[in-house]
Amino acid sequence: MENLTAVEQEAIILTIQGKSDIQAYRLTHPRASKRTAITAACKFFAKARAKLNDQDRLKIYNLGADRLMMELDKRLNAKSPIIYQGRVTGQIDDNFTRQRATELLAKIHGIDKPPEKKPETTDQPDNTIHIIID
């Protein structure tokens, strides 16, 4: 996001918060008329979004690796409530959720696939005889 100007950053944040491109443009450019905002917003946001790389986009929407690890950590330490007579009396480890989080973590790192078998090779020379009949 370091490539963006302050106005572009503010406008993109407004669109993430639910404003339309035109509304965000009008809020960041208060002197623009309604007609100007309609035509200029498209060009303005096309330029601003072109400056963002994929990592910046994930960061803006809070979908980066940090959030992924934070969410997985929650699930790796998951607890289930113990309910007795309609009241929560304690908590126990939620092994199902922990197992699923472990599987997802393995899948992300590519560990879930069985290792590929390499063909066996021998150091001995090939002593087969091939007879070709013409």
Span 76-134, pLDDT tens digits: 888 989 999 989 999 998 888 888 888 887 777 766 666 667 666 666 666 777 777 76
Q: What is the pLDDT of residues 15-70, one digit of tens each?
A: 988 999 999 999 999 999 999 999 999 999 999 988 888 778 777 777 777 777 88
Q: Where are the alpha helices (DSSP H) in the chain?
A: 6-16, 21-28, 34-51, 54-60, 65-76, 95-108
- The domain segmentation of the chain, as residue ranges, is 6-60, 65-108
Contact status, residue 15 vs residue 24, Cβ threshold 8 Å? yes
Report yes or no on whether pTM surpasses 0.75: no
The rounded distance, in Å, linking the Cα atoms of 46 and 113 is 40
The whole-number pLDDT of residue 121 equals 63
Between CA 32 and CA 39 the distance in angstroms is: 11
